[in-house]
Amino acid sequence: PLWLVKPDLAFLLVIMTHIWKNLPFWTIILLAGRMAIPKDHYEAANVDGATRVQVFRYITFPGLKNLYITSTLLSTIWSVGDFNTVYLLTGGGPTDSTHVFSTLGIRYAFNIGDIRTGVATVITSLPLVVPIVFVLIRRLRRGE
């Protein structure tokens, strides 16, 4: 299709597909978090005359802050290693504009035959992923 041939559109399509794929996860997590906020807080804000923006800013957002952070960290980790979406949708093309670390590593290792460069490409994601994993583990342990 034409929208997979143009690099800008193909890149946008990969981003939109990733958002579409993770939207149910985000929706369920944030809905469960929203339902965990006590209704008394909203009733008190209503009695005090708070606007909807103030209710969101002072009650809803602080109540969901940890879920926002945890969901964003998980989504970032999954995005870095998302081989299937990119490979099946565009194969890294056109003109190698939609590659992520995993698809670029596979391209170097198996298509070009340069295994060392392929492994090095995949390993370059570690400085991004390892700190995110440590932050996520610390946040989850603090919640216990």
pLDDT at 7: 84
Distance, CA of 30 to CA of 36 (rounded, Å): 10
pLDDT at 76: 83
pLDDT at 144: 52
Q: How many CB atoms lie within 10 A of CB 31?
A: 10
Q: How far is CA 95 from CA 4, 8, 61, 99, in A?
A: 11, 11, 41, 10
CB 7 within 8 A of CB 97: yes
Over residues 70-93, the pLDDT tens digits come to 888 888 888 887 888 888 888 888
User: HEC states along the chain?
Assistant: CHHHCCHHHHHHHHHHHHHHHHHHHHHHHHHHHHHHCCHHHHHHHHHHCCCHHHHHHHHHHHHHHHHHHHHHHHHHHHHHCCHHHHHHHCCCCCCCCCCCHHHHHHHHHHHHCCHHHHHHHHHCCHHHHHHHHHHHHHHHHHCC
Tokens of 17: 């597909």
pLDDT at 59: 95
CB 105 within 8 A of CB 111: no
pTM of the model: 0.73
CB 137 within 8 A of CB 77: no
The mean predicted confidence, pLDDT, of the chain is 88
Over residues 120-135, the pLDDT tens digits come to 988 988 888 889 888 8
Over residues 4-44, the pLDDT tens digits come to 788 888 889 888 998 899 899 999 999 999 999 999 999 99
